[in-house]
Chains A and B, each alone.
Chain A
Amino acid sequence: MSSSIQAYDPEVDAPAHHHPIYDYDSGPPVDRGKFAIWLFLATEVMFFTGLIGSYLVIRMGSPAWPHPKELLAVDITAANTFLLITSSWMMVRALDAIQKGDKGGLVKWLGFTILGGSVFVGVQVYEYTVLIHEGYLPNRDLFWSTFYAMTGFHGIHVCVGVIWLFCVWIGAVRGSYTPQNYVRVELAGLYWHFVDLVWVLLFTIVYLM
């Protein structure tokens, strides 16, 4: 009686890379990187909510609070806000360019985005320098400690964004991205838009209200 069981032959039964191949994807029906970045951004929302929520509690509980417009350079910061919104728009153009296969456009718009972010950080450093020179240090009172905490943490996020975008830009210069492979550009862009979104709220709450 002949057996139908055959000996295990690694050459036949297992592929060369020794990993089983499934005809379905066990992950969520969305790009893993995109899933991860949105999860990360959700935690970032909570981070900034903690800062803004604490600020509102401290401010509304304080018997007196200075008018930010009288202490802060709203005109310069408004220009800086325009700049960050513009850089966010340029990021949209960069992604749009690579989706259409325009590699040169990606390098150009990504470069402008990085430039915009760098100038934003530069203006913020200038603002801090002037304020510190005038004696407005973080330990002066609650207004200044909350001001430096919120704008400082946002500034760190902008710096991280600029470094991230620069890394993506190097890849763009080398021609690493194509209309079929641009997810890294998209992820960096999502982070950059989030940084812009947070600034829109901070500008209103810290500088104008």
Chain B
Amino acid sequence: MSETHGFNTNKIFIILFILTALEVGWAFIPFPTWAHWGGLLVFAYMKGHLIFSFFMHMKFEGWIVKGLMVPTIPLMMIVVFANMPDTSRNDLLVYPLTTQLDPLAGQEDSGEIVELNQTERAELSREIKGAHGGGSGGGHH
């Protein structure tokens, strides 16, 4: 059996195997969203913790190596939570996430798909060229 730093790697491997099986099973049980997500995150945390602490030997490293990883924790939180206002106050944003903007008017598009005939399409094409200052030719017609 494989013994490193006084822990049994085979045992860790089997626990990881069982946790993955339980996690997949949990994903298919119709829980409420909070229990579904919460349970999955707990499983992911436990697995990540085992890999990080034992397979990567972090549990047995000195303060220098541990210290290298400590700043990543607040930085991770900043990265995620700095973006959170976009999510939590999405209803208050001028253009909430996934808003489609009309490139011509610069305003919110209804998202409605309109079928155009050939004449309308030519007209729209002229309109777009006009809006962009006469197209790629720099205004020469």
Please report A residues at the B interface, Cβ cutoff 8 Å. 28-30, 34-35, 38-39, 41-42, 45-46, 49-50, 52-54, 56-58, 60-63, 69, 74, 78, 81-82, 85-86, 88-89, 91-93, 95-96, 99, 142, 190, 193-194, 196-197, 200-201, 204-205, 208-209
Most central of B12, B51, B62, B86 by chain A CB within 10 Å: B51
Once A35-B68, A57-B84 are accepted as A-B contacts, the answer to whether A69 and B90 lie under 8 Å apart by CB is: no
Binary per-residue interface labels of chain B (1-15) against chain A in the complex, 1 for a CB within 8 Å, 0 otherwise: 010100001101100
B72 touches A42 (CB 8 A): yes
A61 CB contact (under 8 Å) in B17, B47, B79, B87: B87
Q: Establish whether residues B55 and A92, one from each chain, have CB atoms under 8 Å apart when the complex forms.
A: yes
Docked pose: A61 CA to B83 CA in angstroms: 11
Give every chain B residue within 8 A of A50 (Cβ-Cβ). 79
- Closest A residue by C-beta to B80: A53
Chain B neighbourhood of A69, CB < 8 A: 27-28
Q: Indicate if the CB atoms of A89 and B55 lie closer than 8 Å.
A: yes
Q: Indicate if the CB atoms of B69 and A85 lie closer than 8 Å.
A: no
With both chains docked as a complex, state the minimum distance between the C-beta of B64 and any C-beta of chain A, in angstroms: 5
**Other A-B pairs, 18, CB within 8 Å; known A45-B72, A85-B13, A96-B2:** A29-B62, A34-B65, A42-B68, A46-B72, A49-B80, A53-B76, A57-B97, A82-B17, A89-B9, A89-B13, A92-B2, A197-B48, A200-B47, A208-B23, A208-B24, A208-B40, A209-B27, A209-B40
Q: A29-B62, A35-B65, A74-B24 are in contact. Are A93 and B40 (CB under 8 A)?
A: no
A61 touches B96 (CB 8 A): yes
Given contacts A35-B65, A46-B72, contact A194 B83 (CB under 8 A): no
Binding site for A on B (CB under 8 A): 2, 4, 9-10, 12-13, 16-17, 20, 23-24, 27-28, 36-37, 40-41, 43-44, 47-48, 51-52, 55-56, 62, 64-65, 68-69, 71-72, 75-76, 79-80, 83-84, 86-87, 90, 96-98
Cβ contacts under 8 Å, A45 to chain B:
69, 72, 76
Q: Within the complex, what minimum Cβ distance (angstroms) separates B88 from chain A?
A: 8
Contacts of B71 in A (CB 8 A): 42
With A28-B64, A200-B48 as known contacts, state yes or no: A53 contacts B98, CB within 8 Å.
no
Q: Contacts of A193 on B, CB cut-off 8 Å?
A: 51, 55-56
- A38 & B65 in contact (Cβ 8 Å cutoff): yes
**Across the interface, which residues of A come within 8 angstroms of B27, CB to CB?**
69, 74, 208-209
Q: Which residues of B contact A52 (CB under 8 A)?
A: 80
A selection of 26 A-B contacts at a CB cut-off of 8 Å is A30-B62, A30-B65, A35-B65, A38-B69, A41-B69, A42-B71, A42-B72, A49-B72, A49-B75, A49-B79, A57-B86, A58-B97, A60-B87, A61-B86, A69-B28, A78-B24, A88-B51, A89-B9, A92-B55, A93-B9, A96-B2, A99-B4, A196-B51, A197-B52, A197-B56, A204-B41
List of 10 A-B pairs having minimum Cβ-Cβ separation, nearest first: A61-B97, A204-B44, A208-B27, A53-B80, A89-B13, A57-B83, A60-B87, A49-B76, A193-B55, A61-B87
Contact, CB under 8 Å: B13 / A190 = no
